[in-house]
Amino acid sequence: MAILEVNDIHKRFGAAEVLKGISFSLEKGSSLAIIGSSGSGKTTLLRCLNFLEKPDRGRITVQDEVLFDAGDPGTQAEPEIRKKRLNFGLVFQAFHLFPQYTVLKNITLARELLEKERQKTQGTSAPQKEIDADAAALLAQMGLVGKEKAYPHQLSGGQQQRVAIARALALKPKILCFDEPTSALDPELTGEVLQVVRSLANKKTTMVIVTHEMAFARDVADHILFMDEGLIVEEGPPEQVFGNPREERTRQFLARYSSEP
């Protein structure tokens, strides 16, 4: 039973059609890696899933609930979109941590605001103690014990990205999306972030990972999607897409990526 179903997503910016009909589905507890050249529409696709862009056509379904349907304005009302976003988490290429808050507060801020809202509307909410304990557990999981009180600018890029992952996990999204989580990092720092993502995969976190780390994708993902010019050119299990690609374009892309480290 698929947790996420994406149907025929189209997105254009002005004259340029960036997504030309993307469909795929994702099983609960599995991880999907999306690969493809720069400009092929990977970021735009993740942004559509997270409601940062509005697709021109298509449908997004999570656990049988239609979150978005371009043909049904009823699914596009502003206040509900905010709630629907919580189905997804997004880890940005450039982290986007909140610079004025400590590591701990970066992780707890959104949860605190949501709990406050829940207290108002439902009369019940998690106590601050629980929020802090959950954040501490996440920090431990990310290998960041002792960094609670640090500010983002005091951390390395790899540490910042791990905080960003913890921040996304703090809201317990059903599906966690990564947009090239290691592309902004110095090469010696990518390992620590990939390690964390790998451990999430081992814990059966449902993930969509856009990445240029081919070895990592092959190793960690259950399923590979190769995108080119707004279309899914090829998809399948890693052994097939990397080991025995069917499409010429996939072969060319992989050849390019294995030749330039």
Partner 1 sequence: MSNAQTIVSRLVDSFQLNVQLFFLTLLFSLPLGLVIALCAMSRFKPLAIVTKTFVWMIRGTPLMLQVIIIFFAPGLLNFGAPWGSGASARFTAATIAFIINYACYFSEIFRGGIQGVPIGQTEAGQVLGMTRAQIFFKVTLLQVIKRILPAMSNEVITLIKDTSLARIISIKEIIMMAQEYTAQGLIWPLFSTGLFFLVFVGLLTIIFARLEKRLDYFRV
Q: Which residues bind ligand ADP (CB under 6 A)?
A: 13, 18, 36, 38-44
How far apart are CB 5 and ligand ADP at their closest, in Å? 21
Task: Check binding of 43 to Mg ion (CB under 5 A).
Answer: yes
- The residues with which 35 forms a beta bridge, in sequence order, are 226
Geometric angle at alpha carbon 41, from 16 and 168, rounded to 5°: 135
Residues 6 or more apart whose CB falls under 8 angstroms from that of 113 comprise none
Q: Which does 41 bind (CB under 5 to 8 A by kind): partner 1, Mg ion, ligand ADP, none?
A: ligand ADP
Could you tell me where the DSSP H helices lie in 142-184? Answer: 157-169
Taking the CB of residue 142, how many other CB atoms lie within 10 A of it?
A: 26
Count interface residues toward partner 1 (CB under 8 A): 27
Q: Which does 215 bind (CB under 5 to 8 A by kind): partner 1, Mg ion, ligand ADP, none?
A: none
Task: Check binding of 126 to partner 1 (CB under 8 A).
Answer: no
The two three-digit tokens of residue 9, written as one number: 């997503």
Among 36, 55, 58, 152, binds partner 1 (CB under 8 A): 152
Residue 161 DSSP SS3: helix
Nearer Cβ to partner 1 (114/254):
114
Q: What are phi and psi of 171, to 5 degrees?
A: -95, 10
Nearer Cβ to partner 1 (109/214):
109
84 touches 68 (CB < 8 A):
yes
Applying CB under 8 A, which residues contact partner 1? 50-52, 82-83, 85-86, 88-90, 92, 94, 96-100, 109-110, 113-114, 151-153, 167-168, 171
